[in-house]
Amino acid sequence: MNRRYQILASLALSALFLSPVAHADNKAIAADEMEAYLEFVDYGGGVIFAEQIPKDEWPKMMVIDARDAAQFAKGHIPGAVNMDWRQVLAKRSTIPKNKPVLIYCNTGSLSAQAGFALRVAGWDNVRILQGGMEEWKAKGGFDAASKATSKAKH
């Protein structure tokens, strides 16, 4: 990502979401900076469907379950690490930049926020699992990826 837009987006994210007191002037500046970021970022914001990921690629990725610990304990994608969506920036030193990172929650909305924060912070390798855990289970988990790969080969 262009360094200028990375800096602008980081400032915008801080101004919009992290500062306890936002002033009207700061909101206008932040909105302009965020607008510049949104014009630059790729279409889809890094969203991917489970069936687009071949089964043998899953072990090569860091998979982050962005739900809380109780939800993670009830079931998660095998190999996933639990990292509450609010903690991804605080724990960013544990998230690699040199291999694919997939983040998910129940439906995709909270992981999209966490993924957006990481992308603004410079992680271009982050993808959000479309539909989250619910869609992954509904489509058959790893079996959906295997079926999609088999269909593509025929």
pLDDT, average across residues 113-133:
89
- The verdict on whether 105 is a catalytic residue reads yes
Distance CA 6, CA 124 (A): 10
- Cβ–Cβ < 8 Å for 105, 80: no
pLDDT on residue 55: 81
Which domains, from first to last, does the chain contain?
Answer: 1-41 (no CATH), 44-153 (3.40.250.10)
Strand partners, 129: 48
Catalytic residue among 12, 105, 133, 148: 105
pLDDT tens across 73-98, in order? 999 999 999 999 999 999 999 999 99
Average pLDDT over residues 19-25: 48
